[in-house]
Structure 1
Amino acid sequence: MGRGARETVLGTLGKATILQIPPELQDLALRFREAVWKRDTEDPQRKLVLLKYSDGNYTNYMEGRTRFHKSNFSLEILNTSRQERQLYEFIVSKGPEEKVWQIQLEVYEPVSDPSIQILGWALVNDSCTVTLNCTAERGDNVSYSWGSWDTSTLGLCSHNGSLLYLSYPLQNTSIACACTASNPVSSRVVTFNSSECSYEQGGNAGQRTEHLVLLVVVPIVAVMIITGVFTAAHLAMPIGECQEHSALAEDSTVHTIYSQVQRVESPDKEHTTVYASVMMPTA
C-alpha cells in the first residue's frame, strides 16, 4: 500500500455513510498516534480538515455532521448529502513520512417504488399483445430489467430496459412479469399480471372504434351522398324547368287557395275547409 491508495464507497442520500480504513492503517495510527481526516473541496487548491487525532485524543471539526469511531478510526457521515460527494483522505504521520488512504465517496438517491403503464395493447388471434413501460419517479442512475419467478414464462418476460413487449394467449392467466428498478444503492420491484388484459378490454376498444366511425365517418359519407344527389338532380333538370324554378325563386309572393273537401265516410256529408299556401308566379 503506497501513497494515494484508493477505494470507492457508495453512499445513500439522506442516510448515514461510514468511511473505513484498512487494518494496516489502523495499526499505524495506534503506533504513531498522529492522524487526520481531510476532504477535497470545489477548490482544487484547498482541502477541508474534518478531524485530527493525536495521542489518543481527537478534535472533530464537523461535530453534528460527522462521528468519529475511535476503535477503528472510521468516520461516519450522519446525513449524507450530495455535497459530500468528494475525495476523502485518512493520513497517518510517521515522522517525516505520511501514509495516505483515499476514499472516493459517490452519493446516490435511492430508487422509489416503480410503476407500470400500459402504453398499448391489441387482441389478435386470441392473443394479447401489450407494450409495458416501467418507471420510477426518483432515483439516480436508475436501470430497469424484466423477469419472472416462473421459469416457464421467463422467456416471455426477460428484457433489459424499461419497455417490455409482451404477447401471450388470452386463456393463459398465470403470466406475471416483474420489473426491477435499481441503482448502486437500492432496488425495487413491481409486478404486472396478465389478467389485466381481457376480452372486456377488447370490447371497450371495439366500442371506441364504432363510436369513432359513427361520429366521424358516417356524417362525412352522408354529406357526400346528399351533395351527389342534388348535383345529379340539378344536371338532369330540363332547361325550361330550371328557368321556371328561377322565376319562382325571384317571386316570393305567396297566394292562399281555399278549397272544400267532402268527407265520403261522414253520413252528414260534412264539409271541411282546407287551407294551402303555394307560390304563384306574377304576370
Structure 2
Amino acid sequence: MGRGARETVLGTLGKATILQIPPELQDLTRRFGEAVWKRDTEDPQRKLVLLKYLDGNYTNYMQERTRFHKSSFSLEILNTSRQERQLYEFIVSKGPEEKVWQIQLEVYEPVSDPSIQILGWALVNDSCTITLNCTAERGDNVSYSWGSWDTSTSGLCSHNGSLLYLSYPLQNTSIACACTASNPISSRVVTFNSSECSYEQRGKFPRTEHLVLLVVVPIVAVIIITGVFTAAHLAMPIAKQEHLPLAEDSAVHTIYSQVQRVESPDKEPTTVYASVMMPTA
C-alpha cells in the first residue's frame, strides 16, 4: 500500500455513511499517534481539514456533520448529502513520511417502488401482444431489467431496459413478468400478470380500429345533427310569415273620414267617405 491507495464507498442520500480505513493504517496510527482526515473541495488547490488526531486526543472540526470513532479511526458522516460526494483522505504521519488512504464517496438516492404502464396492446389470432413500460419516480442512476421466476416463461420476460414487448396466447393465464428497478445501493420489484389482457378486459384498452370508430363516428354525427338544426332554424321565420293566422279575438275596424270638396260656389258641397281597415291588437 503506497501513497494514494484508494477505494470507493457508496453512500445513501439522507442516511449515515462510515468511512473506514484498513487495519494496516489503524496499526500505524496507534504506533505513531498522529493522523488527520481531509476532504477535497470544489477548488482543486484547497482541502478541508475535518479532524486531527494526536496521541489519543482529537479535534473534530465538523462536529455537527461528522462523528469520529476513536477505536477504529473511522469517520462517520451523520446525514449524507450530495455535497459530501468528494474525495476523502486519511493521512498517518510516521516521522518524515506519510501514509495516505483515499476514499471516493459516491452518493445515491434510493430507488422508489416502480410502476408498470401499458403503452399499447393488440389481439392477433388469439394472441396478446402488449407493450409494457416500467418506471420509478425517484432514484439516482436507475437501471431496469425484466425477468420471471417461472423458468418456462423466463424467455418471454427476459429483457434489459424499461420497455418490454410481450406476446403470448390468451389461453395462457400463468405468465407473470417482474420488473426490477435498481441502482448501486437499492432495488425494487413490481410484477405484471398476464390476466391484464384477458377477454373480460378488452374494453379497458381499445384497439386502433375501435378508437377510430369511437372518435370519428361521433364527430360526423354531431356535424350532421348541427346542420339539420341550423337549416330548420333558418327556415322557421319564413314559415311563420306565410302561415301566421290572425288572433281569434282580433277584429277589423273601419274608420271613416269625411272630406268636403267644393267644386264651384253655386253648387252644394260633395261629401266623400274614405275607409281604412285597422286590425285591433
> TM-score per shorter chain, which class?
0.7 to 0.9
Separation in 2, partners of 1:268, 1:19: 144
- 1:199 and 1:265 map into 2 onto residues whose CA distance is 106
The equivalent residue for 1:59 is: 59
Quote the offset at 1:133 in angstroms.
0.1
Alpha-carbon shift at residue 123 of structure 1 (Å): 1.0
TM-score, normalised to structure 1's length? 0.74
CA distance, structure 2, for counterparts of residue 278 and residue 211 of structure 1: 71
Matched-pair contact (CA < 8 Å) for 2:148–2:158: yes
Is the alpha carbon distance of 1:126 and 1:93 closer, same or farther for their aligned partners in structure 2, counting shifts above 3 Å?
Answer: same
Distance in 1 between residues matched to 2:256 and 2:228, nearest whole Å: 35
| More displaced stretch, 71-80 vs 258-267 | 258-267
What are the ranges of 5 or more consecutive residues in structure 1 without an aligned counterpart?
A: none
Equivalent residue for 1:223? 222
Would the alpha carbon gap of residues 21 and 209 (structure 1) be closer, same or farther in structure 2, given more than 3 Å must change?
closer
Deviation at 1:263, TM superposition (A): 58
The equivalent residue for 1:264 is: 262
Give the deviation of 1:202 after TM superposition: 2.4
| 8 Å Cα contact 1:19-1:74 kept in structure 2 | yes
- Residues 37 and 21 (structure 1), Cα distance of their counterparts in 2 relative to 1, 3 Å cut: same
Cα 1:218–1:111, aligned 2, differ >3 Å: closer, same or farther?
closer
8 Å Cα contact 2:86-2:105 kept in structure 1:
yes
1:187 to 1:72, Cα distance in 2 relative to 1, 3 A: same
Q: Separation in 1 of the partners of 2:243 and 2:73?
A: 109
Bigger Cα displacement from structure 2, 247-256 vs 163-172: 247-256
- Listed one character per residue, the Cα deviations across residues 33-86 of structure 1 (whole Å, up to 9, x for unaligned) are 000000000111111111110000111111021111111111110110000000
Is residue 231 of structure 2 the alignment partner of residue 232 of structure 1? yes
Deviations 1:149-188 (A, max 9, x none): 1111100000000000011111111111000000001100
Aligned residue-pair number: 278
Shift of 1:201: 2.9
Q: CA deviation at 1:199?
A: 1.0
Asked if the contact 2:128–2:168 (Cα under 8 Å) also holds between the matched residues in 1, the reply is yes
- 1:200 Cα shift? 2.6
Counterparts of 1:107-256 in structure 2, within 5 Å, are 107-203=107-203
Contact 1:88–1:105 at 8 Å: present in 2 too? Answer: yes
Distance 1:271 1:143 in 2: 119
Q: Secondary structure at the match of 2:37?
A: strand
Structure 2: any 5+ residue segments left out of the alignment? Answer: none
With 194-203 and 78-87 compared, the bigger mean Cα shift is at 194-203
Tell me how far 1:251 sits from its aligned partner.
Answer: 32
Q: CA deviation at 1:96?
A: 1.0
Structure showing greater radius of gyration is 2
With over 3 angstroms needed to count, the CA separation of the structure-2 counterparts of 1:245 and 1:173, relative to structure 1, is: same
- Deviations along 1:75-124, one digit per CA (max 9) or x if unpaired, are 11011000000000000001111100000001111111100000001111
